[in-house]
Amino acid sequence: MSPEEVLKRIAFIQAELAALLTWVTGNLSGTSLGAPAPVEHAAPPPRPPKKLRWRYVPGSWYRIVGDNPFRDGNNFNLFEFLARRYGDRPFSRENLNEAIRALREAGRIASVQNEDQIVLVFLRTGGAEKNRIAMASVPHDSDAGPIADVQDSLPPEPGDIVYRLLGDIPFRSGVNVHIWQRMGNKPFVREQILEVVRDLVDGGAFDSIRPAETIVRDFLGRVQEKGRLERS
């Protein structure tokens, strides 16, 4: 490279540096970029509601939060009573004991267990396992109390319950298919379905070593789980 070319190259580089310094000086003085935008801090996410720990002792409060998870029996009747008497309002552990005593006097609960044992099984099954009963905070007076009296809250006696199968048959084969086809969608009481099951067994429609009452209970339970059973 000749001396003339070296000098031209140096001059070109000097011009580039001068232009770069001019641009940097202008940006630093705020003529191009301006002041930096303030940093916005995002609001912290809301805290999830505190989950109440399950308690079974006097002074605890509960609330019905779903449909009856029980098929029949004492627990079914106790859940029905509480749902009718308190609706979605909270009820206390003491209210639960009162409900058991009212159901016993009315013949809707028959058990050799004491109240504490009935309560423990009922809450553990319907609450902690089935999630149809939830713990509740101590309510204000205006938010507590029954919405129906005891007599109107009593579930019907077993012989008084009227059932109806809803919609199309949800089973493909087996004992439940035979029972559904015989019962159809007409209302029936428990004694009627028991008689149908006995006729099916005697007629050889299916073989079973289970008592008719057990077959009926299992059938109604399966239908209820599928949302195809109406009680009144």
pLDDT tens digits, residue range 134-179? 999 999 888 889 999 999 999 887 656 889 999 999 999 889 999 9
CA distance 108 to 99: 11
In angstroms, rounded to a whole number, what is the distance separating the alpha carbons of residues 48 and 57?
26
The H-assigned helical ranges of the chain are 3-28, 73-86, 93-105, 115-123, 150-153, 175-183, 190-202, 212-225
Residue 77, token pair as written in the block: 């009747």
Read off the pLDDT band of 42 (50, 70, 90).
low
Quick one: tokens of 123?
A: 């809450």
| Beta carbons of 132 and 198 less than 8 angstroms apart | no
What percentage of residues in the chain have a pLDDT greater than 90?
A: 46
Q: pLDDT tens digits for 166-213?
A: 999 999 988 999 999 999 999 998 888 989 999 998 888 887 888 888
The end-to-end CA distance of the chain, in Å, is 107
Find tokens 């009573």 and name the residue: 81
Tokens of 153: 């809250």
What is the spatial distance between Cα 103 and Cα 84, in angstroms, rounded to a whole number? Answer: 13
At residue 72, the pLDDT reads 77
pTM (whole model) above 0.75: no
Whether the pLDDT of residue 90 is over 70: the answer is yes
| 5 vs 2: CA distance, rounded Å | 5
- pLDDT for residue 224: 86
- Residue 32 is predicted with a pLDDT of 47
Whether 37 shows a pLDDT value over 60: the answer reads no
Query: Which residue's structure tokens are 């006729």?
Result: 199
